[in-house]
Amino acid sequence: MLGWFINPSFFFIGVMELFKKRTGLEEKFYQACETVTVEHDYVIYDMDYIQGSSTVRLFIMNPETKTAVIEDCIKVDRGLSPFFEEDWVPEDVVLEVSSPGVYRTLKTKENFEAVVGDLINCTISGSLNEELVKDAPKAIQNEKSFRGILKEFNEEKILLEIDGFELPLTIEQIKKANLDPEL
């Protein structure tokens, strides 16, 4: 069954997937999705294959506008129809094609690099290193969720600016992150 939607709800499953490798069916789905997406002059923002629900969630965007409208999603969905009718695809697979949304999830290196300088929301596992936050405003010291400007990103850490305080977080600390613009 093929379908599309334009306004996904924000959710995150698991921990940071910065270095995730796709394998098996997920890799085959990704390759098919990439072929069709590129043919239609879009890029893949993200793709999830949720085996338990047999769902392929494809998030696409126009590289110029950094989003997708419903017509874009329909084009890609229709372009993928022949691929999803091939013998290797389980019969119960559902395809959902969507824009990454305003509050898009940040999971990959490319996702983070694209939003340096923007407001993000970040939730961590565990506690902050007391030494790193001893000069931080009290409102930050015991928190697990932070909203600030992503000042820097590399494959080991990010630097958030929160009300003038710079908070370094390691990638391993980050449980989930998403773009959180002022609207």
Same domain assignment for residues 93 and 129: no
Same domain assignment for residues 19 and 63: yes
Mean pLDDT of 2-7: 41
Task: Work out whether strand 157-162 and strand 165-170 pair parallel, antiparallel, or are unpaired.
Answer: antiparallel
Residue 8: per-residue pLDDT? 36
**Average pLDDT, rounded, for the chain:** 88
Range of the domain at 142: 109-179
At residue 65, what are phi and psi to the nearest 5 degrees?
Answer: -95, -15
Model confidence over 44-98: pLDDT tens digits? 999 999 988 999 999 999 999 999 999 999 999 999 999 999 999 999 999 999 9
**Which CATH number belongs to the domain containing residue 68 in this structure?**
3.30.300
Same domain assignment for residues 128 and 62: no
**Inter-residue contact 153 to 113 (CB < 8 Å):** yes
Same domain assignment for residues 15 and 53: yes
Phi-psi region of 18 (alpha: psi -120 to 50; beta: other; left: phi over 0): alpha
Same domain assignment for residues 44 and 114: no
Same domain assignment for residues 119 and 43: no
Q: Is the pLDDT of residue 2 over 50?
A: no
Same domain assignment for residues 15 and 75: yes
Residues 67, 71, 75: CA angle, nearest 5 degrees = 100
Q: Is the pLDDT of residue 1 over 50?
A: no
Domain count, the chain: 2
Q: Which residues is 157 bridged to in the sheet?
A: 170
Residue 18: per-residue pLDDT? 64
Same domain assignment for residues 93 and 169: no
Same domain assignment for residues 94 and 113: no
User: Which of 49, 66, 98 represents a domain boundary (last residue)?
Assistant: 98
Any domain includes 104 = no
Q: Is the pLDDT of residue 37 over 70?
A: yes
Residue that is written with structure tokens 């590289």 in the block: 63
Q: Considering the chain, what percentage of its residues have pLDDT values greater than 70?
A: 90
**Inter-residue contact 140 to 146 (CB < 8 Å):** yes
Residue 112: per-residue pLDDT? 95
Which among 90, 107, 73 is positioned nearest to 29, based on CA atoms?
A: 90
Same domain assignment for residues 123 and 42: no
Predicted confidence band of residue 3 (pLDDT cuts 50, 70, 90):
very low
Residue 76: per-residue pLDDT? 98
Residue 116: per-residue pLDDT? 97
**Which CATH number belongs to the domain containing residue 156 in this structure?**
2.30.30
CA–CA dist 99, 83 (Å, integer): 20
Query: Helix 70-84 and helix 24-39: axis angle, to 10°?
Result: 130
Q: Is the pLDDT of residue 6 over 80?
A: no
Q: Is the pLDDT of residue 133 over 80?
A: no
Mean pLDDT of 8-32: 68
Mean pLDDT of 27-53: 95
**Inter-residue contact 117 to 84 (CB < 8 Å):** no
Task: Work out whether strand 157-162 and strand 145-153 pair parallel, antiparallel, or are unpaired.
Answer: antiparallel
Mean pLDDT of 89-112: 94
Same domain assignment for residues 159 and 94: no
Same domain assignment for residues 116 and 81: no
Query: What is the torsion angle, in degrees rounded to the nearest 10, for the CA atoms of residue 118, residue 62, residue 32 and residue 73?
Result: 110
Predicted confidence band of residue 181 (pLDDT cuts 50, 70, 90):
very high
User: Which of 68, 98, 128 represents a domain boundary (last residue)?
Assistant: 98
